[in-house]
Amino acid sequence: MRTDDNLPVAIIGGGPVGLAAAAHLAKRNIPFQLFEAGDSVGANFLSWQHVRVFSPWRYNIDKAAEELLEETGWVAPDKDGLPTGGELVREYFRPLSEHPAIKPGIHLNTKVISIGRKGMDKMKTWGREELPFSIKVEENGEIKYYEAKAVIDSSGTWNQPNPIGSGGVYAEGEEEMSDHIVYGIPNVKNGALERYKNKNVVVVGGGHSAINALLDLADVQEEFPDTQLNWVLRKDNMELVYGGKEDDALEARGALGIRIEKLVNSGKLNVYTPFRILKLEENGNGKIDIQGKLRDEKGVIGNVDEIISNTGSRPNLDMIREIRIDLDASLESVFDLAELIDPNVHSCGTVRPHGEKELRHPEQDFYIVGSKSYGRAPTFLMATGYEQVRSIVAYLDGDKEAALRVELDLPQTGVCSSNLNLGDSAGGGCCGPAVEETVGAEVEVGAAASCCS
C-alpha cells in the first residue's frame, strides 16, 4: 500500500461484487468510495429484473455482506429459493447499500471516465507506486476527481455487448439499424410486449439468454399468432444447445433444454444454423433483410421487424488506458486467470478458486474483479467474485495468510446457467450469478451475465 494510508480504496461498480468488496473493507475498517454509474446499486440487474437465475440464494450472498446485514435485523431469503434479478436488487443489494457502514461511501449516478496515477502517465516509472490513483468521474453531471490508495474495478461487461456480426465485429448496417436491435434480455411478455407481438422477430445467440427470449416469445406467439420466430446460431450441433436435459444436475437448466428442443421440433420456430451475419439492409418497406452465410452458402432472412441479440459481452478498457494492466490476448481476461477459465476447457463448475495473487497487475494495488476479470470468458460466477474480493481486501489489509486461503464453496456441478423459465410469472432466467456460453463470447447472459459485476 502507499505511504498515505488515510486515502480510501476506490471500488468501480455497484453490482454484487463491488458491494461485496465494500462489505469486506467495512468489516476491516478500511475506508472506501464506491462509484456506480446507475441511479441504483445493481442497476444492470434491473435491466433483466424479470429473469430468474439458476443458482439458489445460498450461492448469491457474500458472507461478509450477510454478517453486516444480520446486524440490522435483515431477514435472509430462503437459501434454497431462486431469485430474479429484481429480487436480488430489492432483497439483497439495496439493503446492503443502506447499511450505516456502507451507505456513506456510495456514489450513485457517477460514471468513471479515467483512472491513472496522480500527475503521471502510463510510461513513467520512477516513484509510480508512491503516488495515489487519480479517478476522474462525472458525478450527477459534474466532473470531479478523487484520489485512492488502491482500486478494485468491478465494473463488469454488461454494458459492452458483442455485435451480432460474424467474427465479433459489427455487421454492415448493424449500427445504422440499432433502433431495431435490443442487446440484452427484453421483457417481451410484459413491458416490451407491444414491440414484439405480431412481429417478425430474430433472436441471435446460442446460449441460455437466447433460449429464454425464444421461450418467452413463444408464449407471445400463442396469444398473438402472427408473431414469427427465427433463431440464428453459429453452432452446427443442436444437441450441444439443448444441454443435459433430463440428465442435467440442475433440474431447471435441464428443463430449459427440454422446452427449447420441443419448440424447435414444433415447427413454430425457424432455425438458421450455422449462420454468420454479414449485413443488415432496410428493404424499402421499413423492414430489415439479414444477409449472411448459411452453411457456407448465401443466406437471407427477410422482412425482419426486430432483432434480439444475445451474443455476450466484452470488457470496456478505455477508462483504464493509463493503468499498467496484463491481459490475455484472446480472452481479454486478467492474464494469470486465462488458463484457469478458458471456456474451451472449463465450465463454471471446473474453474478453480483464485484470489489476489492471480489477479495482480503490473500496476501495484490495482485489481480487476468480477465478470470483467474474466474478459470474454463465459464461466464467471458471483460466488467466485466474492472470493476474489475477500482475498484482495485481506491482502490490502496486510493479512497475507487470509489472502492465500481458499474459502470458496460451490456445488460440484457448478451453478453457471440461469433461466428458470418454467412458466412462472417471474419470467425466465439468464445469468445472474453466472455467465453462460457464447456465440461471440457470451457472458451470456445473461445477466449476471456481467452482469455479475
Query: Can you spell out the DSSP letters for 320-352?
Result: GTTS---B-TTT-SBGGGHHHH-TTT--GGGPP
How far apart are alpha carbons 408 and 135 in whole angstroms? 31
**Do 339 and 290 share a domain, yes or no?**
no
**Do 33 and 128 share a domain, yes or no?**
yes
**Do 102 and 153 share a domain, yes or no?**
yes
Chain center to CA of 355? 19
Which of 308, 342, 373 is the last residue in one of the domains?
308
How far apart are alpha carbons 264 and 301 in whole angstroms? 17
Asked whether the beta carbons of 322 and 366 are under 8 A apart, the reply is no
**Do 276 and 360 share a domain, yes or no?**
no
**Do 112 and 17 share a domain, yes or no?**
yes
Chain center to CA of 254? 22
Alpha carbon separation from 386 to 215, 246, 326, 382, 402 (Å, rounded)? 32, 31, 22, 6, 14
Indicate the residue type of 184. Answer: G
How far apart are alpha carbons 293 and 298 in whole angstroms? 5
**Do 277 and 377 share a domain, yes or no?**
no
Asked whether the beta carbons of 418 and 432 are under 8 A apart, the reply is yes
The label of the residue with cell 486467470 reads: 337
Q: Classify residue 140: in a domain, yes or no.
A: yes
**Do 145 and 235 share a domain, yes or no?**
no
Q: Classify residue 81: in a domain, yes or no.
A: yes
How far apart are alpha carbons 76 and 82 in whole angstroms? 13
**Of 155, 215, 117, 188, the residue nearest 15 (C-alpha):** 155
Which of 385, 404, 423 is the last residue in one of the domains?
404
How far apart are alpha carbons 309 and 73 in whole angstroms? 41
Per-residue pLDDT at 390 = 97
Contacts 24+ apart (CB under 8 A), 234-240: 234/166, 234/206, 234/273, 234/274, 234/275, 234/276, 234/439, 235/206, 235/273, 235/274, 236/273, 236/274, 236/295, 238/264, 238/271, 238/273
**Do 133 and 210 share a domain, yes or no?**
no
**Of 272, 364, 286, 380, the residue nearest 323 (C-alpha):** 364
For 176, the domain range is 166-308
Q: Classify residue 452: in a domain, yes or no.
A: no
Q: Classify residue 174: in a domain, yes or no.
A: yes
How far apart are alpha carbons 64 and 42 in whole angstroms? 18
**Do 386 and 253 share a domain, yes or no?**
no
**Do 170 and 78 share a domain, yes or no?**
no
Query: For the sheet containing 133-139, what is the strand order?
Result: 110-117, 133-139, 142-148
Count of the separate structural domains present in the chain = 2
**Do 16 and 144 share a domain, yes or no?**
yes
Alpha carbon separation from 240 to 145, 206, 237, 377, 438 (Å, rounded)? 49, 9, 6, 18, 12
Which of 285, 308, 331 is the last residue in one of the domains?
308
Q: 199: domain CATH number?
A: 3.50.50.60
pLDDT in tens, the chain (453 residues): 444 678 999 999 999 999 999 999 999 999 999 999 999 999 999 999 998 887 889 989 999 999 999 999 999 999 999 899 999 999 999 999 999 999 999 999 999 999 999 999 999 989 899 999 999 999 999 999 999 999 999 999 988 999 999 888 999 999 999 999 999 989 999 999 999 999 999 999 988 888 889 999 999 999 999 999 999 998 876 766 766 555 555 555 667 778 888 998 999 999 999 999 999 999 888 899 999 999 989 999 999 999 999 998 999 999 999 999 999 999 999 999 998 888 766 555 556 778 999 999 999 999 999 999 999 887 788 899 999 999 999 999 999 999 999 887 665 444 443 333 333 333 333 333 333 322 222 223 333 333 333
How far apart are alpha carbons 450 and 453 in whole angstroms? 5
What does DSSP say about strands 150-153 and 306-309: parallel, antiparallel, or unpaired?
A: unpaired
**Do 149 and 41 share a domain, yes or no?**
yes
Asked whether the beta carbons of 430 and 423 are under 8 A apart, the reply is no
**21 in helix, strand or coil?**
helix
